[in-house]
């Protein structure tokens, strides 16, 4: 009997393949398979330990390859728009931006492209794990995080896509994504982990409402961003 129980416990890490776990998570977060045609706005408030608050409005239209980020912090508003190959940058409503201001506020089309990838990746999870170049671990893992047992998907990427290793933690019953974690070099315990709480429904997609960011090393708190459907800019 003990050997049988031990076998069952050991087998829990093999109940699902990585692909099966991902499909169950997507079925929870995007039941209507609507991410690929997503068109909408996200309103995000970021708070950091220093007390600074940043308000961001993110407009995404995937079919039209359109992305617009408007971010306001301490009286400064930066607007970055990408529409296919076209890039438009504004500082406090003006497209005339000095080289000094571009450097000070990190304003460039390259930066706009980075922010587009950042927002579409994080708010498109776990659906974005279907993208080409994503390498899923063949087997789902079982891990304990903050005292809770999770089904975990380990993900790496083709070299042209990215070098980080990610772990995505899903509730074993609902398959809601509740934590994700990345490492640049896992042997050094670098990188960050992000604790997700609550759900904001954006259309039919269930997106994490609150994300709290921490360094893996030392559990240092970095900040929290909150997603809402109401405009604050």
3-class SS string, the chain: CHHHHHHHHHHHHHCCEHHHHHHHHHHHHCCCCCHHHCEEEEEEEEECCCCCEEEEEEEEECCCCEEEEEEEECCEEEEEEEECCEEEEEECCECCCCHHHHHHHCCCHHHHHHHHHHHHHHCCCCHHHHCCCEEECCECEEEEECCEEEEEEEEEECCCCCCCEEEEEECCCCCCEEEEEEECCHHHCCCEEEEEEEEEEECCEEEEEEEEEEECCCCCEEEEEEEECCCCC
pLDDT in the model for residue 13: 40
CB of 143 closer than 8 Å to CB of 169 = yes
Model confidence at 189: pLDDT above 90 = yes
In angstroms, the CA 150 to CA 171 distance is 6
Alpha carbon distance 213, 150 (integer Å): 19
Q: Please give the average per-residue pLDDT across 89-112, as a whole number.
A: 96
pTM of this prediction?
0.89
Q: CA 114 to CA 120: how far, in whole Å? A: 10
The predicted model gives 51-65 an average pLDDT of 94
Mean pLDDT of the chain: 91
Torsion of CA 45, 166, 151, 126, to 10 degrees: 50
Confidence of residue 228 (pLDDT cuts 50, 70, 90): confident
The pLDDT-based confidence of 211 (bands split at 50, 70, 90) is: very high
- Give the mean model confidence (pLDDT) for residues 87-116: 97
**pLDDT for 168:** 98
Confidence (pLDDT) at 230: 55
Which of the two residues, 230 and 28, has the higher pLDDT score?
28
The pLDDT-based confidence of 233 (bands split at 50, 70, 90) is: very low
């Amino acid at each position: 009997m003990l050997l049988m129980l031990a076998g069952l416990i050991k087998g829990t890490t093999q109940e699902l393949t990585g692909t099966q776990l991902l499909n169950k998570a997507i079925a929870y977060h995007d039941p209507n398979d609507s991410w690929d045609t997503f068109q909408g706005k996200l309103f995000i408030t970021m708070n950091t330990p220093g007390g600074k608050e940043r308000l961001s409005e993110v407009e995404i239209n995937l079919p039209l390859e359109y992305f617009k980020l408007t971010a306001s912090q301490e009286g400064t508003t930066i607007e970055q728009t990408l529409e296919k190959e076209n890039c438009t940058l504004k500082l406090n409503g003006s497209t005339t931006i000095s080289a000094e201001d571009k450097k000070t506020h990190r304003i460039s089309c390259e930066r706009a492209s980075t922010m587009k990838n950042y927002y579409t990746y994080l708010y498109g999870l776990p659906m974005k794990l279907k993208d080409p170049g994503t390498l899923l671990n063949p087997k789902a893992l079982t891990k304990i995080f903050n005292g809770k047992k999770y089904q975990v998907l380990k993900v790496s990427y083709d070299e042209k896509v990215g070098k980080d290793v990610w772990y995505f933690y899903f509730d074993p019953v609902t398959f809601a994504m509740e934590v994700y974690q990345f490492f640049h070099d896992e042997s050094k315990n670098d990188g960050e982990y992000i604790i997700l709480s609550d759900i904001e429904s954006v259309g039919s997609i269930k997106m994490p409402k609150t994300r709290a960011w921490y360094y893996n090393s030392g559990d240092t708190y970095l900040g929290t961003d909150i997603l809402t459907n109401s405009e604050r800019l």
